[in-house]
Amino acid sequence: MSLLKTDQELTRNSYYVATAPRTQRYAALQDDVSADVAVVGGGLAGLSAALELRARGYSVVLLEARELGWGASGRNGGQVIAGLASDISVIEEQLGTAAARRVWDMTVEAVNLVHERRARHAIDCEWQSGYLTLAVNARKAKALRAWQEEMYLRYDFQSRWIESQDMPRWIVSPRFHSGVYDDFNGHLHPLKYTLGLAAAAAQAGVRIHEDSAVTALQAQAAGALTTLRTEARVVGRDGVVQGSVRARYVLLAGNVYQQGIARALEARIMPVGTYIIASEPMDPALAGSLIPSGAAVCDTNFVLDYFRPMQDHRMLYGGRVSYSTATPMNLAESMRRRMLLSFPQLKDVKAEYAWGGFVDISMNRAPDFGRLSERTGDQGHANIYYLQGFSGHGLALTGLAGKLVAEAIAGQAERFDIFSRIQHRAFPGGRWLRTPALVLGMAYYRIKDLL
Ligand SMILES: Cc1cc2nc3c(=O)[nH]c(=O)nc-3n(C[C@H](O)[C@H](O)[C@H](O)COP(=O)(O)OP(=O)(O)OC[C@H]3O[C@@H](n4cnc5c(N)ncnc54)[C@H](O)[C@@H]3O)c2cc1C
């Protein structure tokens, strides 16, 4: 089954879609236009870059194949967190400690940027501060404690350790041994945030076209314009309507859905399904008792559970992974059973919404940013930037990534290039065989999670 077909099923019953009504739609591209920059993808990465580029005076056309926020940006766990999906040691080993420190600091800036944008654009997206990282057993607790100390000593990241006996004050659950709390990270309603950024981008003069899938990318000689061709289905018009954008610079920010226009990027990421339920609203006293601080939570397993209490007294609970593109059977019930392992006291609470999406996992789980020319060797691709490989940790980082692309296009590529120097390997097996290869690798980590 194709990724897109599965994804249509996965978005149908999303809590976010039900609670963030779209007040604005953007017309499909139906003619030939030009701009300084063309952005492919109306998720947080593309929108952030578009906003930052407009602020620097560039004309920007943003092309979204479906609706803004349709991808991961409008469906994720809502956890706004500093750091990367990979351990920071991956960056230290590759680029050295000074560059790793700069990367870490930029991930902190990414969280601050969320606050700056919420405030500047008056985006009401239910921000709640507080984050708990919890260990499920003593062995994992030891590793978590070592990580916490190292992050404080080497990266100045402040958090507090929670001993086993103090855990009930933080979470009423039999599943967790001990953990770390910080009040820098937190959570929000991601679709409200994404649509808020989109409104800000449109207001700033970004030309946005939804229902406009980029189907081909034609680069010319180095320094020449790139042409993007689009196809759209337009209500009231028969067949497919075509359009094009000619631009000096291009940003590819289409995530795992961006297939067929820049194949050199595709084997460097792998779509991995992850799933979420939102419970029905509970008695406020019960809802408030589960995680008294209101913090978002993740465990330290490789295949992790992530969850958070909601302002309307629901529990939003995410986890599982799938390496095939098929939607898991009985998704809502299987996720509800997962929730009950953490909160058995919710046995009478129903799952009202269930949805999911695909994360763009890179082999080492570090982000994969660069210029297409670095992947193809074709200098005609030197002005085509790409952002991918957020590996399930992109709600805040996409915002910073878009800013780095804007800086690079404006001639300040130093920060972008710290990221572009991170080395990545393609998934073994190439385009079609990478899924089985990853499944084998993940089976190993699943077993480790049980220990
Ligand atoms: C279920 C789930 C839970 C997650 N939880 C968290 C979390 O709690 N915290 C966190 O930090 N991160 C989380 N993530 C990851 C985070 O959501 C992503 O890293 C981030 O949203 C990626 O943003 P993006 O703009 O790169 O991609 P997307 O938001 O996926 O946007 C890409 C867009 O590009 C469009 N597109 C693709 N190809 C084309 C084309 N050819 N033409 C035009 N448009 C195109 C797509 O339609 C899509 O709308 C989660 C992800 C998922 C799926």
Which tens digits make up the pLDDT trace of 194-251? 999 999 999 999 999 999 999 999 998 777 899 999 998 777 777 789 999 999 999 9
**pLDDT tier for residue 442 given thresholds of 50, 70 and 90:** low
Which tens digits make up the pLDDT trace of 145-187? 999 999 999 999 999 999 999 999 999 999 999 999 999 999 9
CB-CB contact of 80 with 188 (8 Å): yes
Does the CB atom of residue 41 touch ligand 1 within 6 A? yes
Dihedral of CA atoms 407, 409, 414, 417 in degrees, nearest 10, equals: 120
Does the CB atom of residue 389 touch ligand 1 within 6 A? no
- Kindly state the average pLDDT of the residues 52-67: 98
- Kindly state the average pLDDT of the residues 354-369: 94
Q: Please check the confidence at residue 413 and state whether its pLDDT lies above 70.
A: yes
* Alpha-helix residue ranges (DSSP H) falling in 96-158: 97-120, 138-155
3-state DSSP assignment of residue 135: strand
| Residue-level pLDDT at 448 | 56
| Residue-level pLDDT at 193 | 98
Residue partners of 147: CB distance under 8 A and separation at least 6: none
User: 315-322 and 306-309: which strand pairing?
Assistant: antiparallel
Beta bridge partners of 175: none
Give me ligand 1 centre to Cα 274, in Å: 12
Helices 97-120 & 138-155 angle (0-180, nearest 10): 90
Distance CA 51, CA 117 (A): 10
Which tens digits make up the pLDDT trace of 118-142? 999 999 999 999 999 999 999 999 9
Does the CB atom of residue 254 touch ligand 1 within 6 A? yes
Does the CB atom of residue 71 touch ligand 1 within 6 A? yes
| Residue-level pLDDT at 372 | 97
DSSP-assigned states of every residue in 2-39: -HHHHHHHHHTT-HHHHHS------PPP-SEEEEEEEE
Instruction: Compute the 3-state secondary structure of the chain and give helix, strand, coil in percent, each to the nearest 5.
Output: 40, 25, 35
With CA atoms as reference, report the closest residue to 17 among 75, 65, 63: 75
Which tens digits make up the pLDDT trace of 71-86? 999 999 999 999 999 9
Q: Please check the confidence at residue 363 and state whether its pLDDT lies above 60.
A: yes
Q: Please check the confidence at residue 433 and state whether its pLDDT lies above 60.
A: no
Q: Work out which ligand 1 atom sits closest to the CA atom of 391.
A: 19
With CA atoms as reference, report the closest residue to 229 among 209, 214, 239, 219: 214
Q: Which of 395, 400, 404 to mutate to test the pocket of ligand 1 (most atoms within 8 A of CB)?
A: 395
Which domains, ranges and CATH numbers included, belong to the chain?
3-437 (3.50.50.60)
Does the CB atom of residue 85 touch ligand 1 within 6 A? no
End-to-end CA distance of the chain: 34
DSSP-assigned states of every residue in 201-251: HHHHT-EEESS-EEEEEE--STTS-EEEEEEEE-TTS-SEEEEEEEEEEEE
Q: How far is CA 204 from CA 52, 53, 54, 57, 117, in A?
A: 10, 10, 7, 10, 13
| Residue-level pLDDT at 223 | 76
Distance CA 317, CA 305 (A): 7
**pLDDT tier for residue 9 given thresholds of 50, 70 and 90:** low
Residue partners of 334: CB distance under 8 A and separation at least 6: 320, 328
The Cα angle at residue 286 between residues 282 and 290, in degrees rounded to 5 = 110
| Residue-level pLDDT at 330 | 85
Percent of the chain beyond pLDDT 70?
91
Tokens of 364: 């080492």
- Kindly state the average pLDDT of the residues 258-265: 93
Contacts 24+ apart (CB under 8 A), 446-451: 446/302, 446/303, 448/302, 449/301, 449/302, 449/303, 451/137, 451/139
CA within 13 Å, CB half, 165: 0
What is the distance, to the nearest Å, from the Cα of residue 151 to the centroid of all Cα atoms in its chain? 23
Distance CA 250, CA 258 (A): 14
**pLDDT tier for residue 398 given thresholds of 50, 70 and 90:** very high
- Kindly state the average pLDDT of the residues 415-440: 77
Backbone angles phi, psi at 12, to 5 degrees: -60, -35
Give me ligand 1 centre to Cα 73, in Å: 4
Does the CB atom of residue 258 touch ligand 1 within 6 A? yes
DSSP-assigned states of every residue in 327-395: PPTTHHHHHHHHHHHH-GGGTTPPEEEEEEEEEEEETTSS-EEEEHHHHH--GGGTTEEEEE--TT--T
Which tens digits make up the pLDDT trace of 266-286? 999 999 889 999 999 999 999
Tokens of 6: 């599965």
Give me ligand 1 centre to Cα 292, in Å: 30
Does the CB atom of residue 64 touch ligand 1 within 6 A? yes
| Residue-level pLDDT at 200 | 98
Mean pLDDT of the chain: 92
| Residue-level pLDDT at 222 | 74
Number of neighbours of residue 152 by Cβ within 10 angstroms: 12
- Kindly state the average pLDDT of the residues 379-398: 96
Does the CB atom of residue 273 touch ligand 1 within 6 A? no
With CA atoms as reference, report the closest residue to 44 among 386, 405, 398: 398
Q: Please check the confidence at residue 19 and state whether its pLDDT lies above 90.
A: yes
